[in-house]
Structure 1
């Protein structure tokens, strides 16, 4: 709890950090993020959305630039808004989109700039205690570090970004299920070849619930076969609830990738608030999860980006281009015990081996 209180005292990027900075020849790299949100619009300059709930799904298009001095896994926050593009993440352009049709048009325009067969969407759903700017910049960092060529889409629900607002955030995530389902259907109706999903923390709750709703509705998207990877990072879901969700959802054709860490202090607090019930991303039974159709990536030995160790997934982004190769290869070398220290150096192979030796023998990736 002390760690959380100290973290809560740190300055948070609430007002003015999203004010556009004119584009110059400063060596930065820009990424255009499409946004769908259940947050209420905020009239304060450079803020766009706050933590209160909106009655309707809203949309925006925001260009964020990453500075040339960027370090993988980090967000170079401005000390004062709006920041210096040579040293900080800054917004270049920002504007609201007028409804679903404008969002789909913007999405299709970006997809059309990719070669046919490579028109992918990368959908990110953030977690608890996340202000709008924080979710936007974290997603930009993941996209940049992973060198992801897909069109990035951020689904941001109404988190107040306050430690004391856990119950409010949980209810906001629950209330956002229908809107995320709607967004997923809009994306699949676009001219897309593949849709990959990454959810973090409490964002996993709304994600799995939305997917479950789609499954049991009997109205699957017409291009449902284009669903790619589903990555659940540090999932803040009661382990028994997740098992029930998966049994209802059915064993997926592709493994869910669950990124967990047993030293995640945020999930430790969540478990405490939930009466001691284990969270999926904390100390899961990997063998049981494998039987439900999941591949577990244990990042316990990887150094986190903060004292609470809840953001390790951001380091995975830097090595994401290797992920598909390692998973498709199927079998990992048995030299892990001699090279376990590589996990702290962000070796993907070492990270992925950790749960594999638990899941099955011989050392296979996945539980199928």
Structure 2
């Protein structure tokens, strides 16, 4: 059981297209990256934020100094915990993070941290349990390759505010090096973190009685599925049955994913996989992986993809109709306002319970089978 035949793999002009994608990534990587100063707490006595998102964080990154929320690329033996109140500026545009133009953060124009605390595990779980008692279920965001901590924190704040979905947002941050050449090192760091993510999911199901949402991007998808596999091997079906998992552009070899799903089995709520065949970042990943197809760039119009998705018990949705936010075509998921609104509609929500392959139409905000049009034409003959 595999998503694509080996014969079809040699038809792509791989080296040429992958080289072009590498150039795109390298150009983007030349821009300055936000440093820890962008999440230092700011004070603005004469400014009252219109919207503040409280983000809880769990990270396998080490702290630069004990008790401070500056996190490095070093691996921590035990997870570190924190809480951030992130204000959203009045000029915020959907899918965007308004970064400061210089070293000074201005909450009137920039994403800003208004307050923060270093927490222990028990304090974090008390926060989650208190929110769960109010009907606010936890939602975990697992970032992808080439992210630093502050980028991941503000990305979750952006997703939360744009989607306008309730609940308790929790960032799970693993020690990515936040560097284009560090792909292999990032893969090792993600794998290192699977025990901590699995333990967090166990903790979250204990903290409340409802479902736990997990949204993972890119290499974070690899980490998440590995954590699910580990929970299955530990006999924690009770935890798996409480999870609603969405993988956006997962950077996972197609054969590895099928093998992982054989162990995990069919989830009570099928895993949803958001894909785009024109994802340039995953083309580079495929190049680095000796030409193996990545799950996040599968072609849902391929009948084999739909069949294997049904067998594996997953829902694959092509979101290529969403406009790309950069030249990699890898971050369409950040358009949370459109995506979350469409996927939460009753008709779409019902369809997401079905395993198989589907296409998301951003203009009509509908989800349909890629084979429905062909079926209509055939019935008319």
TM-score (norm 2): 0.84
Kindly tell me: are residues 252 and 310 of structure 1, through their superposed partners in 2, closer, same or farther at Cα, counting changes over 3 Å?
Answer: same
2:227 aligns with 210
Find the aligned partners of 1:292 and 1:329 in 2 and give their Cα distance: 19
Q: What are the superposed Cα offsets for residues 228-275 of structure 1, whole Å, 9 maximum, x if unpaired?
A: x21000000000000011111111222211101111111010000000
**Corresponding position: 1:315 with 2:335:** yes
1:304 aligns with 324
2:218 aligns with 201
Map 1:115-134 onto structure 2 (within 5 A). 118-134=135-151
Map 1:66-81 onto structure 2 (within 5 A). 66-81=88-103
- Contact 2:131–2:137 at 8 Å: present in 1 too? no
Q: What are the superposed Cα offsets for residues 195-232 of structure 1, whole Å, 9 maximum, x if unpaired?
A: 111000000111011111111211344x65433x2100
Secondary structure, in 3 states, of the residue corresponding to 1:16?
A: helix
2:43 aligns with 22
Given the alignment, which residue of 242, 245, 248 partners 1:226? 242
Q: CA deviation at 1:157?
A: 0.3
1:101 aligns with 122
**Corresponding position: 1:31 with 2:46:** no
1:61 aligns with 83
2:261 aligns with 246
Q: What are the superposed Cα offsets for residues 102-138 of structure 1, whole Å, 9 maximum, x if unpaired?
A: 22112223334x2xxx331111100000000011111
2:114 aligns with 92
Kindly tell me: are residues 242 and 360 of structure 1, through their superposed partners in 2, closer, same or farther at Cα, counting changes over 3 Å?
Answer: farther
**Corresponding position: 1:174 with 2:191:** yes
Kindly tell me: are residues 304 and 28 of structure 1, through their superposed partners in 2, closer, same or farther at Cα, counting changes over 3 Å?
Answer: same
Find the aligned partners of 1:213 and 1:40 in 2 and give their Cα distance: 23
Kindly tell me: are residues 274 and 319 of structure 1, through their superposed partners in 2, closer, same or farther at Cα, counting changes over 3 Å?
Answer: closer
RMSD of equivalent CA atoms: 2.4
Kindly tell me: are residues 52 and 297 of structure 1, through their superposed partners in 2, closer, same or farther at Cα, counting changes over 3 Å?
Answer: same
Find the aligned partners of 2:268 and 2:116 in 1 and give their Cα distance: 38
Find the aligned partners of 1:271 and 1:35 in 2 and give their Cα distance: 31
**Corresponding position: 1:287 with 2:302:** no
Find the aligned partners of 2:310 and 2:334 in 1 and give their Cα distance: 23
Map 1:348-363 onto structure 2 (within 5 A). 348-349=365-366, 352-353=367-368, 356-358=369-371
Q: CA deviation at 1:329?
A: 4.5
2:379 aligns with none
Secondary structure, in 3 states, of the residue corresponding to 1:281?
A: helix
Which shifted more, 266-275 or 85-94? 85-94
Secondary structure, in 3 states, of the residue corresponding to 2:223?
A: helix
- Contact 2:60–2:193 at 8 Å: present in 1 too? yes
- Contact 2:252–2:296 at 8 Å: present in 1 too? yes
Q: CA deviation at 1:70?
A: 1.0
- Contact 1:41–1:50 at 8 Å: present in 2 too? yes
Kindly tell me: are residues 119 and 310 of structure 1, through their superposed partners in 2, closer, same or farther at Cα, counting changes over 3 Å?
Answer: same
Q: CA deviation at 1:42?
A: 2.2
Find the aligned partners of 2:40 and 2:313 in 1 and give their Cα distance: 43
1:258 aligns with 273
Find the aligned partners of 1:86 and 1:141 in 2 and give their Cα distance: 16
Which shifted more, 7-16 or 283-292? 283-292
- Contact 1:119–1:191 at 8 Å: present in 2 too? no
1:334 aligns with none
Which of 1 and 2 has higher RCO (CA within 8 Å, sep 6+)?
2
Q: What are the superposed Cα offsets for residues 312-339 of structure 1, whole Å, 9 maximum, x if unpaired?
A: 01114444133132323549xxxxxxxx
Q: CA deviation at 1:358?
A: 4.1
